[in-house]
Amino acid sequence: MTRILIAEDEERITSFLERGLRANGFTTTVVRTGPDAVALARDGQFDLVILDLGLPGLDGQEALRQIRARGERLPILILTARDGVEDTVAGLDGGADDYVTKPFRFEELLARIRARLREDTTTESTVLSAGAVTLDLRTRRAQVDGRSVELTAREFALAETLLRHAGQVLSREQLLSHVWGYDFAPESNVVDVYIRYLRRKLGAGVIETVRGMGYRLRDD
């Protein structure tokens, strides 16, 4: 089981990250201060750290410096609202493996986490397939029975989420958080609207509605 340490003091974001990461098979631990992040971020205990720069008690940049000075080599992904070039350069020069700014889409964050984790393991395929549907994540192209289909960026993100969980039922809330990020309105019908768009392009029978639960992409 892949273990991820989340060093973030904003409750809404930590809750969003924990739900999304656990739904994708990760084990999570949350700390809310810089000193706690330094104390827990150790090789052998965690496989990756998500580190906010605005932590109380100890700034994230200094926490990063102390972790690296101690010799820990586990991947560290900075997640912050600081989007200036100087902040990005300082984070990467300080030993971070990646840098993601808020607000963010969960699917992008998940892709970056997977990229960091697989650097020392086998390479993950860039092509997703289920039934007649194929997505090329590198070229951002979609095909149905070998026929190219044009998808918007949001349609592609929704299709990618469904393919990564082919055969599983995903609730509207799960789809909202994965595709639209943590700043979504739970009462929104945007998921239903985009499911209709995808059905028109991928085929009416490709995505099933599971009444009272959500949607499932058929994998047969």
CATH number of the CATH domain containing 168 = 1.10.10.10
For 136, other C-beta atoms within 10 Å of its C-beta total 14
CA atoms lying within 13 Å on the CB side of residue 71: 1
- Residues 155, 204, single domain; the answer is yes
DSSP secondary-structure letter at 118? G
- Residues 18, 69, single domain; the answer is yes
- Residues 97, 144, single domain; the answer is no
pLDDT bracket for residue 162 (50, 70, 90): very high
Please give the share of the chain, as a percent, with pLDDT higher than 70.
89
Please give the share of the chain, as a percent, with pLDDT higher than 90.
45
| Longest Cα–Cα distance in the chain | 55
- Residues 34, 96, single domain; the answer is yes
Choice between 121 and 207, residue whose per-residue pLDDT is larger: 207
Minimum mean pLDDT range among 59-63, 125-129, 194-198: 125-129
Average pLDDT over every residue of 55-71:
89
List the beta bridge partners of residue 20: none
Average pLDDT over every residue of 172-198:
80
| Of 100, 120, 140, the domain-final residue | 120
What are 178's two structure tokens?
Answer: 């994965």
- Residues 104, 132, single domain; the answer is no
- Residues 137, 111, single domain; the answer is no
| Of 68, 96, 120, the domain-final residue | 120
Strands (E), the chain: 3-7, 27-31, 48-51, 76-80, 98-101, 127-130, 133-136, 141-144, 147-149, 169-170, 207-210, 214-217
| Of 120, 152, 180, the domain-final residue | 120
* CA–CA dist 41, 67 (Å, integer): 7
- Residues 135, 61, single domain; the answer is no
How many domains is the chain partitioned into structurally? 2
What are 147's two structure tokens?
Answer: 């026929």
Average pLDDT over every residue of 118-146:
79
Residue 122: per-residue pLDDT: 45
Show the CA angle centred on residue 45, arms to residues 43 and 50, nearest 5°: 80
What are 38's two structure tokens?
Answer: 């330094």
Residue 143: per-residue pLDDT: 94
- Residues 63, 156, single domain; the answer is no
Query: Residue 176 carries which side chain, given as an amino acid letter?
Result: L
For the segment 20-50, what is each residue's pLDDT rounded down to a tens digit?
998 888 999 999 999 999 999 988 788 999 9
- Residues 58, 152, single domain; the answer is no
- Residues 16, 114, single domain; the answer is yes
Residue 151: per-residue pLDDT: 92
- Residues 100, 141, single domain; the answer is no
Question: What is the distance in angstroms between the CA of the first residue and the CA of the last residue of the chain?
Answer: 28
Domain ranges, residue 106: 3-120
- Residues 92, 26, single domain; the answer is yes
Q: Are 63 and 37 in contact (CB under 8 A)?
A: yes
Helix (H) or strand (E) holding 14: helix 11-23
**Average pLDDT value over all residues in the chain:** 86
CATH number at residue 70: 3.40.50.2300
